[in-house]
């Protein structure tokens, strides 16, 4: 009988022409045997990691300036494994290996601005920015930060930075000053790139006032480079150490790509900040490059004639993932602005106009478009679109129906899942396998993903538990910034199950070889697919004299997660509309609009452990009507009654 869950099946011709099919042949030559199917190839990739990653590097034409003799040392240690010891490369050189007239970047803004750069154009512009950075003393190990919209100059500045061996870090321009300082203040960048502002939902938003504050408060900052976005000649007099972009860059024709170790830091990304200021996650150049090449070439089947788009800000790891598409010679499409402005049609129109072949978005966006009653296939010729990617939160089965009934009936829909911690995916699409409604197609090659129970033992297929990875992979962080002994790094991923990466996802493996992700197993909030740490909200709320304390949870709501904030008021203070607006304003201004709760409610008390820690998981369980296993560990368990049976939070 046919499997009713199958909503897409690759044609034999498409399978035969795929990069993954060609790689399977090449890997078979390496292994001295033929692989019968994807599962066979997957098992080899995790059982023989050195052979797999070496074959992948050759297949994807990684440019090593020197190739060491060893691919993997101490492969039984996690953390502690060493990849490509003795090898040297440059991250930017691999993204700039194509230098022809094909389009490398297409940029579109919600205001209608369009910019196109060829690979040759991109190389020339990167050389000019790299020359400017070199002239002000930026070199290997220095940090360069960006407070930029998703603009070509952001990509150019990143490539220029990493060509010199400096380390890149970026935030979205809608972050408040405090959120930026919580991040950039830890890494002390030497140079900060910023736009004079950005446009969102029809509004022109100035960035220079925030940058002026940051330029005075960031220790070690020597230069601020202002890129014109709102104005052709922005007034930068209020910003310390500032210069205009055109005055900063310098003439150059060639790039002197620095030769660096495989694990040399390339990016600093940030955790959501659940238990304090965000962790600064340091990713290595070689591991990031190799992992992205694997995912693009083999799992997305990315080729030179593809146009790769992902709706993302520069503060989300999907921006880093998108930009790496240049290493495969594909055209990357950047969009800056609201995905719903002026209506739900905007991104679909972009896809039609630019001939996008791989369209990346979030589960929340797809749900929003569906609920708006918009039917893209009625209004657009999405002839070129062959794949839709979705991440940020689990993709519900109904969204599969929406794609195939209202977007395109022959598109490959790939729900993908990974994270900032690994700057890549644990599970994602697969051009050789059918798409099943509600499932991620497969585990990624080279990723030894299993599902563990509470006892730290692997669970059988169909069992729901903790997503773990039991063997090393190249894109594991090289460490956390200022974590010299590695204790914070080990505690983040290896404390629960020693020697095993614990990711914090509630998941199960399916009998078809796919995966179902149910959500986060910790207290991370994910409204609209954006990871938010509760402590980032608390730090803003604590500034208000009217409040004693607060606690935030994520509540499942209309195929998404909404943030609910509970506050305890000072004696004599009433919870009014004016106070609620004040709370929203302080969070929006100092964190970001994404941090603003959907609901804010007053409660008399908040549960804490006997050591004084907030118990967010217990509050979430109480709101959802679930059993609370840890109630005996709560110092004031009676306070949980304030969160039960709240009519304001009814899901009915």
Same structural domain, 460 and 430: yes
- Please indicate, yes or no, whether residues 487 and 566 belong to a single structural domain of this protein: no
561 and 429, same structural domain?
no
Residues 306, 447, single domain; the answer is yes
- Indicate whether 204 belongs to any domain: yes
Residues 166 and 229 in one domain: yes
pTM of the model: 0.85
Helical H runs in 265-404?
285-294, 317-323, 346-354, 363-371, 376-379, 397-402
Q: What's the whole-number average pLDDT of the chain?
A: 92
pLDDT of 27 strictly over 70: yes
**Residues 299 and 440 occupy one common structural domain:** yes
pLDDT band (50, 70, 90) for residue 529: low
* Element housing 267 (H / E): strand 265-270
Instruction: Count how many Cα atoms sit within 13 Å of the Cα of residue 417 in the half-sphere of its side chain.
Output: 27
pLDDT greater than 70 at residue 246: yes
Query: Can you read off the two tokens belonging to residue 235?
Result: 């007034």
Of 520, 551, 586, at which residue does a domain stop?
520
Nearest to 387 by CA among 458, 299, 282: 299
Residue 4 is predicted with a pLDDT of: 77
Residue 612, pLDDT above cutoff 60 = no
295 DSSP assignment: I
187-200 pLDDT, tens digit each = 999 999 999 999 99
pLDDT at 610: 45
Provide the pLDDT for residue 623: 87
Cis peptide before 342 (omega within 30 of 0): yes
Q: What CATH number is given to the structural domain containing 302? A: 3.40.50.12780
Q: Using CA atoms, how far apart are residues 599 and 593, in angstroms rounded to an integer?
A: 14
Residues 507 and 575 in one domain: no
Is the confidence at residue 134, as pLDDT, over 70?
Answer: yes
Percentage of the chain beyond pLDDT 90 is 77
In this structure, the answer to whether residues 460 and 317 fall within a common structural domain is yes
633 and 588 inside one domain: yes
Indicate which CATH number applies to the domain containing 170: 3.40.50.980
pLDDT confidence tier of residue 324, bands split at 50, 70 and 90: very high
Query: Which of 520, 546, 561 represents a domain boundary (last residue)?
Result: 520
* Tally of CB atoms within 10 A around 240: 16
Same domain, 290 and 403: yes
Domain enclosing residue 132, as ranges: 103-258
Q: Which of 493, 520, 547 is the last residue of a domain?
A: 520
Residues 546, 470 share a domain: no
CA–CA separation, 228 and 242 (whole Å): 13
- CATH for 532: 3.30.300.30
In a domain, 577, yes or no: yes
Could you read off the pLDDT of 259-288 as tens digits, one per residue?
Answer: 999 999 999 999 864 445 789 999 999 999
pLDDT score of 628: 72
Do 229 and 369 share a domain, yes or no?
Answer: no
Most confidently predicted of 204-208, 534-538, 641-645: 204-208
Number of domains in the chain: 3
Q: What is the pLDDT of residues 458-498, one digit of tens each?
A: 999 999 899 999 999 999 999 999 999 999 999 999 999 99
């Amino acid at each position: 009988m046919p499997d009713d869950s199958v909503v897409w099946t690759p044609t034999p011709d498409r399978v035969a022409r795929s990069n993954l099919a060609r790689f399977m042949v090449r890997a078979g030559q390496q292994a001295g045997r033929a692989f019968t199917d994807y599962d066979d190839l997957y098992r080899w990739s995790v059982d023989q990691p050195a052979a797999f990653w070496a074959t992948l590097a050759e297949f994807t034409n990684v440019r090593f300036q020197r190739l060491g003799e060893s691919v993997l040392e101490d492969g039984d240690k996690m953390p502690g494994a060493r990849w490509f010891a003795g090898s040297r490369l440059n991250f930017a050189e691999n993204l700039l290996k194509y230098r022809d007239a094909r389009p490398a970047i297409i940029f579109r803004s919600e205001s209608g601005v369009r910019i196109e750069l060829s690979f040759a154009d991109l190389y020339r512009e990167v050389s000019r920015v790299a020359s400017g950075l070199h002239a002000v003393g930026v070199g290997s190990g220095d940090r360069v930060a960006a407070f930029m919209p998703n603009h070509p100059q952001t990509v150019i500045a990143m490539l220029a930075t990493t060509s010199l061996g400096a380390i890149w870090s970026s935030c979205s321009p809608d972050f408040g000053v405090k959120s930026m300082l919580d991040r950039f203040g830890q890494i002390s960048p030497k140079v900060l790139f910023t736009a004079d502002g950005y446009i969102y939902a029809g509004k022109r938003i100035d960035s220079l006032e925030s940058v002026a504050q940051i330029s005075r408060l960031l220790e070690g900052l020597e230069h601020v480079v202002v890129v014109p976005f709102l104005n052709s000649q922005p007034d930068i007099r209020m910003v310390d150490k500032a210069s205009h972009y055109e005055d900063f860059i310098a003439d150059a024709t060639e790039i002197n790509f620095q030769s660096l170790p495989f694990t040399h830091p390339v990016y600093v990304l940030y955790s959501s900040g659940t238990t304090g200021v965000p962790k600064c996650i340091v990713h290595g150049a070689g591991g990031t490059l190799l992992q992205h090449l694997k995912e693009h070439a083999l799992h997305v089947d990315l080729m030179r004639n593809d146009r790769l788009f992902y709706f993302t800000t520069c503060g989300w790891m999907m921006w880093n993932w998108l930009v790496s598409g240049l290493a495969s010679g594909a055209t990357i499409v950047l969009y800056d602005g609201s995905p719903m402005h002026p209506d739900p049609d905007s991104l679909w129109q972009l896809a039609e106009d630019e001939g996008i072949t791989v369209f990346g978005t979030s589960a929340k966006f797809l749900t929003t478009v569906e609920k708006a009653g918009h039917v893209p296939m009625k209004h657009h010729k999405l002839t070129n679109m062959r794949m839709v990617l979705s991440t940020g939160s689990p993709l519900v089965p109904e969204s599969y129906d929406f794609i195939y009934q209202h977007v395109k009936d022959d598109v490959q829909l790939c729900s993908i899942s990974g994270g900032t911690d690994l700057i890549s995916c644990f599970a994602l699409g697969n051009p050789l396998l059918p798409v099943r409604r509600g499932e991620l197609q497969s585990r990624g090659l080279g990723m030894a993903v299993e599902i563990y129970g509470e006892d730290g033992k692997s669970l059988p297929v169909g069992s729901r538990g903790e997503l773990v990875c039991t063997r090393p992979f190249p894109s594991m962080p090289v460490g956390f910034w200022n974590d010299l002994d590695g204790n914070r790094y080990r505690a983040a991923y290896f404390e629960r199950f020693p020697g095993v990466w614990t990711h914090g996802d509630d998941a199960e493996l399916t009998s078809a070889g796919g995966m179902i992700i149910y959500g986060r197993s910790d207290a991370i909030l994910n409204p609209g697919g954006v990871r938010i740490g509760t402590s980032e909200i608390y730090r803003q709320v604590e500034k208000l004299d009217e409040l004693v304390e607060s606690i935030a949870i994520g509540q499942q709501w209309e195929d998404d997660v909404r943030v609910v904030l509970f506050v305890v008021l000072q004696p004599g203070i009433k919870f009014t509309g004016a106070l609620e607006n004040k709370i929203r304003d302080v969070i929006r201004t100092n964190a970001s609009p994404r941090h603003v709760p959907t609901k804010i409610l007053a409660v008399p008390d908040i549960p804490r452990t006997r050591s004084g820690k907030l118990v967010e998981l217990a509050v979430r369980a109480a709101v959802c009507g679930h059993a609370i296993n840890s109630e005996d560990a709560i110092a004031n368990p009676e306070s949980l009654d304030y969160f039960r049976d709240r009519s304001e939070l009814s899901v009915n």
